[in-house]
Amino acid sequence: MKDILTLLKEGPVLGDGGYLIELERRGHVDSGSGREKVGTGRGSGQFTPEVAIEDPDALRSLHREFLNAGSQVLQALTFFGTREKLERAGYGAQTEAINRAAVRIAREAAGGRALVAGSISRTQLFERQGPSAAGHVRDLLAEQVGLLRDAGVDFFILETFFHLDEMRIALECARPAGLPIVATMSFRPALTQSSDGHAPAECARVMAGEGAQAAGANCEQEPRRMLELLRVLRGAVSVPLAAQPAAFRTTDTTPCFTRLPQFPDELETIQVSRREFEAFALGARAEGIGYLGGCCGCNAAYIRALARGLGLRGP
């Protein structure tokens, strides 16, 4: 199996995703909507990845579906797998077990036919506590980086960071592991700046300048809207772009699905068709996108559509 840097050179690389919403729909992940408001960053553990130890077969099946759809990378389900976030869901003591199991399951499912990426996401502490959380965030992310490196991931995907300051910390923590890094930020509530007020072009320059071999955006917007953002990023950096759009239709006034009233229990009513993903992939090469995957709302059908758009041989 070629490594991610080689694949990126040959690109575009086809990833996978999104795991948590799909597993929530299948009944294996808790959205928290039955007990509290979702999407604030302040809730109890919501969308946490304990399925890796609670129902490993469910996770294994989804990995296989992505692999069969053509994914060249399987992301270990370690999103929201930092200790403090897991603690809010009652799984803090299982932090090591969840991260290790997630990598092992992805590796087994990959069977040498796909790379395994460790997924590292925001801790939510910047949203909850502001910049004073930086020290705590650094400890949490450094711990997870160590767990994923020891579990044997091939590279890291740093994703769904709203604050550039937190992304910077994640890059600082990930770099010493010596593995390649793909980094993507999510833009909410506006497309024109990160949550801490930095222009997308600046975010891309920081990601590329501080160690990411591919940089871009993931989650929150559907492909068509994310493309506007990617074109801005493309002008700012020379590394390949990475894009993992969501499959939900957003609006000009609210261009982020987690702020729409349909999140999380009426998402089916704003689902974007897989055809939009096929069209997105068709233009990927011309748009300079080197890494292409799905995020919330995508399942294997969407990854198959991306594969078709890229002209990769499907199953």
Q: Shortest approach of Zn ion to residue 104 CB, angstroms? A: 24
Shorter beta-carbon distance to Zn ion: residue 204 or 295: 295
Quick check: 270 binds Zn ion (CB under 5 A)? no
Q: Shortest approach of Zn ion to residue 302 CB, angstroms? A: 12
Shorter beta-carbon distance to Zn ion: residue 208 or 219: 219
Shorter beta-carbon distance to Zn ion: residue 66 or 100: 66
Q: Shortest approach of Zn ion to residue 219 CB, angstroms? A: 3
The region of 29-37, 43-51, 63-71, 289-297 touching Zn ion under the rule CB under 5 A is: 289-297
List binders of Zn ion among 2-31 (CB under 5 A).
Answer: 18
Quick check: 219 binds Zn ion (CB under 5 A)? yes
By CB neighbour count within 10 A (0-12 exposed, 13-18 middle, 19+ buried), where does 286 fall? exposed
Quick check: 295 binds Zn ion (CB under 5 A)? yes
Please report, in angstroms and rounded to a whole number, the separation of the first and last CA atoms in the chain.
19
Size of the site for Zn ion (CB under 5 A): 4
Shorter beta-carbon distance to Zn ion: residue 177 or 217: 217
Quick check: 243 binds Zn ion (CB under 5 A)? no
Q: Shortest approach of Zn ion to residue 294 CB, angstroms? A: 8
Cα 233 from Cα 48, distance rounded (Å): 30
Shorter beta-carbon distance to Zn ion: residue 142 or 292: 292
Quick check: 204 binds Zn ion (CB under 5 A)? no
Quick check: 110 binds Zn ion (CB under 5 A)? no
The region of 101-109, 112-120, 141-149, 219-227 touching Zn ion under the rule CB under 5 A is: 219-227
Compute CA 76 distance to the chain's CA centroid, rounded to the nearest angstrom.
10
The region of 29-37, 76-84, 102-110, 294-302 touching Zn ion under the rule CB under 5 A is: 294-302
Shorter beta-carbon distance to Zn ion: residue 18 or 211: 18
- 58, 65, 263, 271: CA torsion to nearest 10: -150
Binding residue for Zn ion (CB under 5 A) from 114, 208, 215, 296? 296
Quick check: 227 binds Zn ion (CB under 5 A)? no
Q: Under the rule (CB under 5 A), what is the footprint of Zn ion?
A: 18, 219, 295-296
